Amino acid sequence: MNSSFSNIKGEIRENIALDRIDSALRIAFNFVERIITEPLCTSRVFASRDLDMLCQEIGRINLKREILSNKNPVAVKIESKRLVYVVSRLQNSGGHLRIILEMIAAQPTKEHLILATNVVGVSDVAFLSNYFSKHDNVFIAYAPHGTFANRLTWLQRALLETNVEHVYLFHHHQDSVAVAAFVPELNLQGSFCHHGDHHLCLGVHLSHVRHLDFHPMAYHYCREELGVDNIYVPLVCADQGGIDSNEAFSHEGCLTTVTVARSNKLDTRYYVRYVELVPRILECTKGRHIHIGKLTRLALNKIKAGMIRRRISINRFVYVEWTPSVWRTLVQYKVDLYLSSFPLGAGLTLIEAMGAGVPVVMHEHIFSRVHSSLELAYPHAYRWSDPEKLLEYLSHITPEQIRKERGWARSQYKRFHQPKYLKSFLEDGNSTQRQDIPALISDFRPKLDEWAAWAEAQLSASHLLYRWAHRMWRLLRARFQWHS
């Protein structure tokens, strides 16, 4: 494996020169895939202008050769104009699906077309078909199985055959096909929707599209660190009413906490582990903890094993694998406190919690402002980095404090995250910034020395494990050879 980025770029250029479009796309895809799955690069590497430009070069070559040359002529465009959303894959949960749904809901009189490249896996066709069967203005098309080059041709042809009003790029980080497809030569208006904002993401430096950031952390970073002329578009969700402000500690007189996240936000190497902390939280609060979002069987077993060791009743941990509405589920369980996920935070579920009037407790990530999501919460929300201090806070919180913070949570939602703000932006149709942007919290300080010490310990432990495994392998090989 080449470790030099210059070598990676060289390989892509070589394959372009040899007319190996599929290989060039896959090299870019695989490089980003390796970067986003390496914890040491998380929230460290966000964009690559060089990769974006190489993808665009591939797209121009393919457009000219496969479509504009009349080798595969474009069909007549449909008559009605459509808003187009280019995605890599859609599942029954996830933040970028929610944003797309809100954008569709904000523009009910227009037609909407979702184009899925499926380069990172197959979309949940059954769920999407059932969900959108009630919407006669929403259409979905999936790229045919085949090479990346074939998917690129399919996507460019689909964009040209549609009478496009605007294209929104909602692709996954590594989707080289989507970024290659949307070249200036298509003569279409578009926006890069930066939802893959905590890793290296292709498309950040596309200069012919509007760059939309959906939370203040990404907005400030892209503008001030990456030099991107971007626009802030707030995350929104429909108001479904808040929990009664007097209903605190209503479940058997004890605290009810909740965390909303799938395994991808929790099950990664970090100095404090969610599966280990949940039993300690339950031991401290004497209440119940609700988890919403799919966890692995291993994670569930670790939580339950920790509860058994502490002699905590299993029914005090409530597991909700999936729900069509996080907001309504929080109201249903009369949740007292939302504990933000870690090490990766979740923006939309945090906003739903505040909209429902649920006080929030934020995890201050050891080095990442984006993962902390502090700027999305109301200013006086409690934040922690030391788990012992979190447990101390939970053991002393009172119903009076819960009731007071419910008002703060609802106010934050109403000020920044009501659907009218997104609707106003979409109706305006230009690139001017009209929405208030929360300022960055001034006292966030990355604890890089702590991170370095923890990372070194992990590397040392990995090295010891490797030495042990290697020694066992040698012993087994020697025994096998002796018996032979």
* Cβ pair 299, 321 in contact under 8 A: no
104 and 18 housed in the same domain: yes
Same domain, 49 and 167: yes
Residues 285 and 360 grouped into a single domain: yes
* pLDDT of 483: 45
**pLDDT tens column, 340-390:** 999 988 889 999 999 999 999 999 998 888 889 999 999 999 999 999 999
Structural domain contains residue 375: yes
Answer yes or no: do 155 and 294 share one domain.
no
Of the residues 417, 441, 474, the one at which a domain ends: 417
Tell me the range of 46-50, 76-80, 392-396 where mean pLDDT is highest: 392-396
Is 260 found in the same domain as 197?
no
How many domains are there within the chain? Answer: 2
C-alpha angle with apex 61: 60 to 65, nearest 5 degrees? 120
Q: If 0-12 CB within 10 Å is exposed, 13-18 middle and 19+ buried, where does residue 369 land?
A: buried
Do residues 210 and 260 share a domain?
A: no
* Distance in angstroms (rounded) separating the CA atoms of residues 270 and 272: 6
The more confidently predicted of residues 484 and 206 is: 206
Give the C-alpha separation, 243 to 247, whole Å: 7
Residue 34, domain CATH: 3.40.50
Query: Cis omega (within 30 of 0) on the bond before 359?
Result: no
Paired tokens of 105: 């809901």
* pLDDT grade for 206, boundaries at 50, 70 and 90: very high
Residue 67's closest CA among 147, 143, 152, 179? 152
Is 79 in the same domain as 115? yes
Tens digits of residue pLDDT in 27-71 = 999 999 998 887 767 767 889 999 999 999 999 999 999 988 877
Per the structure, the complete domain to which residue 367 belongs is given by 256-417
Residue 246, domain member (yes or no): no
329 falls within a domain: yes
Quote the pLDDT of residue 389. Answer: 97
Decide if 33 is inside a domain: yes
Sheet with strand 111-116: strands edge to edge: 138-142, 111-116, 82-87, 164-170, 190-194, 210-213, 230-232
Mean pLDDT within 301-311: 97
Q: Identify the weakest region by mean pLDDT among 56-65, 67-76, 92-101, 295-304.
A: 67-76
pLDDT at 484 over 50: no
pLDDT of residue 482: 47
70 falls within a domain:
yes
List phi, psi (to 5°) of 373. 60, 25
User: Which domain-ending residue is among 383, 417, 451?
Assistant: 417
The reply to whether 273 and 213 lie within a common domain is no
Q: Are residues 272 and 322 in the same domain?
A: yes
Quote the CA–CA distance of 410 and 353 in Å, as a whole number. Answer: 9
Token output for 42: 């998380």
Residues 286 and 333 in one domain: yes
Residue 460 inside a domain? The answer is no
Give the domain-ending residue among 216, 232, 248: 232
Cβ neighbours of residue 470 under 8 Å, at least 6 residues apart?
Answer: none
What lies within 8 Å, CB to CB, of 51 at 6+ separation is 9, 28, 31, 32, 202
CA-based R_g, the chain, Å: 24
463 alpha carbon, distance to own chain's centre:
32
Residue 117 lies in a domain: yes
Give Cα 219 distance to the centre of its chain. 15
Residue with tokens 């949960």: 93
Question: In whole numbers, what is the pLDDT of the chain averaged over residues?
Answer: 89
**Which residue is listed with tokens 């279409």?**
188
Three-class DSSP labels, the chain: CCCCHHHHHHHHHHHHHCCCHHHHHHHHHHHHHHHHCCHHHCCCCCCCHHHHHHHHHHHHHHHHHHHHCCCCCCCCCCCCCEEEEEECCCCCCCHHHHHHHHHHHCCCCCEEEEEECCCCCCCCHHHHHHHHCCCCCEEEEECCCCCHHHHHHHHHHHHHHCCEEEEEEECCCCCHHHHHHCCHHHCCCEEEEECCCCCCCCCCCCCCCEEEECCHHHHHHHHHCCCCCEEECCCCCCCCCCCCCCCCCCECCECEEEEECCHHHHCCCCCCCHHHHHHHHHHHHCCEEEEECCCCHHHHHHHHHHHHHCCCCHHHEEEECCCCCHHHHHHHCCCCEEECCCCCCCHHHHHHHHHCCCCEEEECCCCCHHHHCHHHCCCCCEEECCHHHHHHHHHHCCHHHHHHHHHHHHHHHHHHCCHHHHHHHHHHCCCCCCCCCCCCCCCCCCCHHHHHHHHHHHHHHHHHHHHHHHHHHHHHHHHHHHHC
**Hey, which residues does 257 pair with through a beta bridge?**
289, 337
Q: Is residue 434 part of a domain?
A: no
Percentage of the chain surpassing pLDDT 90? 67
- Assess contact for 340 and 360: CB atoms under 8 A: yes
pTM: predicted TM-score of the whole model, two decimal places: 0.85
Position 1 scores a pLDDT of: 46
Same-domain pairing of 261 and 192: no
Round to whole Å and give the CA distance between 287 and 462.
Answer: 37
Q: Which amino acid is at 176?
A: S
The pLDDT of residue 290 is above 80: yes
Q: pLDDT tens digits for 412-457?
A: 999 999 999 999 899 876 555 566 788 888 888 877 676 677 666 7
Q: Tokens 């058997």 label which residue?
A: 252
Cβ atoms 351, 417 nearer than 8 A: yes
Q: Are residues 170 and 285 in the same domain?
A: no
